[in-house]
Each structure stands twice: as structure tokens, then as C-alpha cells.
Structure 1
Amino acid sequence: MIDLMPTSEDEAAAIVRAHAESGRPLAICGGDTRSGFGNAVATEDRLRSTGLSGIVAYNPGEMVMTARAGTPLAEVEAALQESGQMLAFEPMDHRPVMGTSGEPTIGGVFAANVSGPRRLIAGAARDSLLGVRFVNGRGEIIKAGGRVMKNVTGLDLAKLIAGSHGTLGFLTEVTFRVPPRPKTERTVVLSGLNDAEAANAMAAAMALPVEVSGAAHLPLTVTWKFLAGKLPEGEATVLRIEGLPGSVNVRIEKLAAAMSSFATVTQLEQPDSSRLWQEIRDVLPYADGTARPVWRVSVAPGTGHQLVAALRLEAGVDAFYDWQGGLVWMRMEAGPEAELVRRYIKALGGGHATLIRASAEARAGTSAFHPEPEAVAMLSRRVKEKFDPAGIFNPGKMG
């Protein structure tokens, strides 16, 4: 495979135009940390954004940053750390679970709409995105949105690009919100709840006026893998509170008191709390060096545990829950069992199952993306035809 790494938008546009004219497909990527995701399609050329790097504009007082798409995520986060700000959506690092290397890029984060535990209150990556610049499938340079949230049309287009996995355009620049970083955090740990009991406890916690910013349940099969086994024995249901120290102290005590009616309650202080949520974010239990299939399933919070219980009757499956139970990370012991997984999701009211990891053989026979309803699929095809009429961008990452 030939890596094409333009150092300017004009160069990127010329590359795309040449491929569109010849009908040759282009694999679009940034730091290549999610290689293997999607369904493989033979292509000789890979268009990478890593030559388009650097922070273009950043004024902490405006709480907005503009960066070229190939800027390493670590560089962005270091600049934000220095100014006491953050990416509110807490993007996951896919390298551990997917067994990849390279450096995640800020463009890749938005292209894949990568969001972590704080999505509960901060929204997804696309909700922080204010504007984009990209090259469409005709080789045209497009600008949408800007440094303020006034251009509704542009903002919608930016959100459309977010999560499109490079199928609609080659991102060259992104502008996004960067709110203040919480001064401290603490986590309440409920011990010994089964999956259904944990779902009830998390729902009760989210209903309290204490601003829980993370709610996850770690069954017994995975608890020992977090914090190097330092969590209390048994299942762990974990609830995070962030903010100013005085406020966190008051809210954590209210939360702990309310949760004591569900289970035994303990607390984690800042260092361990931060580490725990990073490990949850990066799906640590399944960063096991294998190619056993891993699913990322989004369902209604109250049905996640029902899905896992149903699947366990017919397949070998391990799982844990984020987003108050609405995000289920599942590792299958054998094949992906895509038909079974999606059939149960439909029976429980709907959702989305995305195959994040699997062997090349398993991916070849499994649709990585959840099938869209026909009306939505028709709209997606029309959008794809508008942005990429020759169909050259990332054909393996279409739903």
C-alpha cells in the first residue's frame, strides 16, 4: 500500500481529483490507530492526514481551538492541559484494544466521533465540533462552520462529517470547543450488585441533582482487571463526580448517602479515580492481545443488561457497561455472532452494534456497521453520492 501524505490542502485536493478521475479508491486515515476497523476493501493508495499538522489558533479565553486534522491528539491535549482546559467528550484511545500503534490525530477523533465516559453529560465528539475544512470526492476544498456557533447550516455539515469515518471527505482542519478542566474528581463504588441491580442504581444516581459525570458497571469477570485489582472485591458499580473541591465534597457525600440503600459504598480519590475512568474509556479488560471479536453496542440504558443476559444463553460473551448501561462493551469467545447480536438488539427495542475488533477472516464475513433502515440507508446513499460521486473514499467503512 502506498501512503500519500500531502502537506497542504491544495496537494490533498489534487490527489483526490486524480483518483476520482481514474475511479481508484482511497483509504482515508490519520494516525492509523484504528486500522482493521470496518470491512477491508482492496486499495493500493492510502491518503493520510499526518502531513497536515499543527495548532492553527487557540485562545483559552474563547474556549475554542482550531487545529489541522493530522495534529497528534497528544499535542492538542498537552496544550489544553497547560491552560486548564480539555476535550469534554473524553476520547478513547483505540490502540490497546485493537492492538495498533501510531499516534491518534485530532481529525481521526472527529472523523470517528470518538467519545468516552463523559458523553453522558458532555455529548459526543460531534457536539463539540464547531467547524471543519475538508476535501470532498470531487477534489474541492469545503469550509463549514467556524469559530462561533452561529452558522447553523455549516454546523450541521460539520456534524455530518463527524462520525462518517472518512467516507464523505478528507478532513484537513477542525475547530472545536474546549471547556475548563474539572479541578478534582472522586468516584463512588457500589459493591456486589448484579447487572440488573446496577442498572437500577445507576438510574437512581443520574436522577439525583449531583451531576454524575460517569456511570459504569463492571461485572465480576472484569473488575479484577481495573486499577491493578485494587477495587473492592466483587462487582463494582462506579459513579464519578467532578468539579471544584468544595462542591465535589458536598455532592459526593449526598451521592454516597443515597447509594447506601443499594449496596456497600466506598470511594476513590483523585489519582485512582482518574486512572479507573481512563481504563474504562480505553476498554482495558479486552486489551488482551487477541483478535477475539469485540462489539460496541449502544442501546437504551435499561436494556443493556437484558441484551447480555439473552446472549449468554446462546453464545460465550463477556461484557461491561458504560454510559449508565447504555454503552455495552462485549467480547465474544468465538465468532462475532452478528446475526444473533443484532436480532436481540432489535427485539429489545433497537440500538446499534459496531464490530470494533475481529480477525480478518471474521471481518470478511461480517458487516462491521449496524444495518440502517431502508429509508435511512437511501438517505445515506444520496449524501454519499453528493459528497463522493465516484465512490472512492473508504468504501469499507460504509454502513
Structure 2
Amino acid sequence: MTTIQPRAPREPIVPPGQVEHHAADMSVTFSADLTLAELQRQLAEKSQWLPIDGAPHDDAIAGETGGARWNLGQMVLRNSTGPLRLGFGGWRDLLLGAQFINGRGELITVGGRVVKNVAGYDLTKLLVGSHGVFGTPITLTTRTCKRPAGAVHAHFDRGALNLPELLASPMRPQWISQSGQIVVGYLGDADTLNYYRNQLAGMSARVVNDGLSVDEDAGLRHKLWPAGSARCRVSVPPDMLDEFIDRSKLWPYLADPAFGIVLSGGGMDVDRAAIRSAARAVGGQAMFFDESGRFIEMSMDPAAFDVLKRLKSAFDPDGSLTPLPANIA
């Protein structure tokens, strides 16, 4: 008679604080409690990196607030995706798999190490920007990229660039940030950077910063995209960005003009009614956060919000995780 052995309980793919780097496959599995800086250090040993916006050094954690204290799991939950999305994609593009604890305390495993590894719904992306309403990440698996040799930045006055033409040209940057001025960033190997450098000489840049390291590039992007201290995140059609800014009277603000994403607040309260109204007028959506970074309000189509509530009930039937915010449609 065959004895059926009970199945061993599921365990995390990697233990806390650990990394499993599959360099030949250009992928990595890591514990969600790691910082981005620590992961980048380990990937750099194989000339690879994770192209996502965030604090480039752990020593930034002591002197900064918000996103500088986030580990990689928190970065996924808060969707720290910033301007670098233009060149390399965001968390939804980079994530291949995840393990997370749901509201019942169960370890859920979704996705894997390759792109086409499951049929059905892609639950991995569900974690991105979810703020913990569905579960807490334990391990994450992402793509990796070849680590660039360096970076070049160019600063332009707002009216000096035709953004659609730039994005369709060979001078399409890897990232763009807009506030009082527009900053574009280029990353690549030595030959690619030489090409960008030569082309920028014939453009109307106010300032060109050359010879930057990858960490220096990450440091500037971290200052230009302080996701951790934002009190609102607004998504609008890119061609309606300037109209939204004018309507909302938003200042200061930081924007990713390629995708129409706007951050504001910098740790201060914002005029939610004005921002909500301006976003709605241009076909956009707004999300608001309190001083701790917890989201407290969102604007979403009622039908979509109903789907969100049903998903919440499936993963957290007892309501033990972060609650859904108020929805102002």
C-alpha cells in the first residue's frame, strides 16, 4: 500500500536578505526586504542592473524620508516607477514573478523566471501600485539589463523641445522629467554616449552634464522623482499635461511628460478638489496620500472600482490588510 506523504508547506524561493541571480538568463530573484542599492551592488558584479527609479545609495536612507526608506517590496506596492520607464519599462514590465502573503496568511506564488510561463490571469502585475491591499511581497523576480557605461543629461527650457518629434527621433532619451524646465537623460555604452553627446551639441540645451556615472544618473532621477514624499499622483493623457497643470494651478510639481504622470506635495498638503477637478476635465485620474504615504483617495470609474473591491474580497476576505481608499468617481 502506497503512503501519500503530506505536501510540504510552501516556502519563499530565497530567504530574507538574499539574492538568486541568473545572469545568463538576464533575470534575478530577490527577497522583497532588500533595498534597491544593495540589489544594484550585487547585479553590478555581473555588469547588470535593475533599471528602476529609486534611491541609489543606502546612506540616503538616514537623511531622507519617504521613498528613500522603501525596500524593494514597498517600491512595488507604491509603484515607484518614474521617468526611466521611457527607456526600460516600469515595474509592470520588469516583474516576472512574485511571492506574497495574502490576507489569510497564505504564501501565494505567481509568475516565474521567464515571460511565457503561465496561462490565465497575470497576477504578478496585481501587486504593482496596490499599496498592500492584496498582500505583502516576500520575494520578487524581475528582468535585468546590461549595466550602462554612463549617462549624459541635457537641460532645456520648456518651450525649446518638440516632445513628439524628439520621441520619434534617434535622439529619443531613456528618461524625461519636467518641472520648471525639461531634463532629458541618456544612458548607454561608450559609443552610444558619444553619439548622444555629438547630437546634443547641435540642439538648444541650456546645460549638458557629461561623464556621469550610472549612480550619479540615479541620484538625479531620485531627486527629480521623489515618489515617497508625494501627496498626489495624477495620470493624464500626455498631450493634456500642460492643460492639466494650468487648470489645477499645481506648483510645485514634477512630471513625466512622456507618460503624463504628475507628482506633487513634497510632504505638504495639496488642494485635492482642484486637482481632482482638473484631472477629470482632461480625462485623467488622481490618487492622494497622507503624510505616511498611505493612499486615502482615488478617482476611478465605478465599474473598475467594483472589480477592485471583488479582488480585495478574494485575497483579503477578513479585511486584515490595508483597506481600499475612498473612491471619488
**1:306-363 CA-partner distances (Å, limit 9, x unpaired):** 2222222xxx73223334372223338975211210111111122x323345489xx9
Q: Which runs of 5+ in 2 are unaligned?
A: 1-8
Task: Specify the alignment match of 1:60 in structure 2.
Answer: 23
Output one character per residue of 1:269-321: Cα deviation in whole Å (capped at 9) or x when no partner.
Answer: 1338963652343447899xxx9x74222222222222222222xxx732233
Contact 1:205 1:255 in 2 (8 A): no
Number of aligned positions between the proteins: 315
Distance 2:184 2:68 in 1: 32
How many Å apart are 1:74 and its aligned residue? 2.7
How far apart, in 2, do the equivalents of 1:77 and 1:394 lie?
A: 29
- Matching residue within 274, 280, 283 for 1:349: 283
Task: State the SS of the aligned residue for 1:303.
Answer: helix
CA change 1:54–1:305 in 2 (3 A) is same
Could you say if the C-alpha distance between residues 322 and 394 of structure 1 is closer, same or farther in structure 2, counting changes exceeding 3 Å? same
Q: 1:398 & 1:122 partners in 2: Cα distance?
A: 33
The CA distance in 1 between the partners of 2:62 and 2:276, in whole Å, is 26
Once the two structures are superposed, the pairs formed by residues 270-349 of structure 1 within 5 Å of their partners are 270-271=211-212, 275=216, 278-283=219-224, 294-312=231-249, 317-324=251-258, 326-331=260-265, 335-349=269-283
TM-score, normalised by the number of residues in structure 2: 0.81
**Larger RCO (CA within 8 A; separation ≥ 6):** 1
* Structure 1: gaps spanning 5 or more residues: 1-8, 13-50, 220-235
Does the Cα contact within 8 Å between 1:65 and 1:177 map onto a contact in 2?
yes
Structure 1 residues 318 and 187, CA gap change in structure 2 (3 angstroms) = same
* Aligned match of 1:42: none
What letter is aligned with 1:148? V
Q: Percent identity?
A: 28
**8 Å CA contact 2:231, 2:288 repeated in 1:** yes
- In 1, distance between residues paired with 2:119 and 2:255? 35
Which residue identity is paired with 1:372? M
C-alpha RMSD of the superposition: 3.5
Cα distance change on mapping 1:211 and 1:61 into 2, 3 Å: farther
More helix by share: 1
Residue 108 of structure 1 is aligned with which of 74, 77, 90?
Answer: 74
Structure 2 counterpart of 1:185? 151
More displaced, 163-172 or 294-303? Answer: 294-303
Matched, 1:379 2:312: no
Q: Distance between the aligned counterparts of 1:98 and 1:270, measured in 2?
A: 26
Partner in structure 1 of residue 130 of structure 2: 164
Aligned residue number for residue 163 of structure 2: 202
Alpha-carbon distance change, 153 to 114 in structure 1, aligned in 2, over 3 angstroms: farther
Q: 2:87 aligns with which of 121, 134, 139?
A: 121
Matched to 1:320, the amino acid is L
Q: Structure 2: which amino acid aligns with 1:342?
A: R
> Structure 1's 398 and 66: CA in aligned 2 closer, same or farther, altered over 3 A?
farther
CA contact (8 A) 2:33 2:73 kept: yes
Could you tell me how far apart the structure 1 residues matched to 2:106 and 2:268 are? 45
The answer as to whether partners of 1:145 and 1:158 remain within 8 angstroms in 2 is yes
- Structure 1 CA distance, aligned partners of 2:62 and 2:11? 33
Q: Which amino acid aligns with 2:254?
A: F
CA distance in 2, matches of 1:68, 1:273: 23
Distance in structure 2 (CA, Å) of the matches to 1:80 and 1:386: 36
SS in 2 for 1:269: strand
Query: How far off is 1:239 after superposition?
Result: 1.7
Residues 272 and 61 of structure 1, relative CA distance in 2, 3 Å threshold:
closer
Instruction: Give, in angstroms, the shift of residue 56 of structure 1.
Output: 4.3
Does the 8 A contact of 1:136 with 1:169 survive in 2?
yes
Change (3 A) 1:205 1:277: farther
- 8 Å Cα contact 2:23/2:46 also seen in 1: yes
Q: Residues 44-66 of structure 1, C-alpha deviation per residue, up to 9 Å, x if partnerless?
A: xxxxxxx9622242121221111
* Residue aligned with 1:120, SS: helix
Q: Does 1:73 align with 2:27?
A: no
Taking structure 1 as the reference length, the TM-score comes to 0.68
The alpha carbon displacement at 1:243 in A equals 1.1
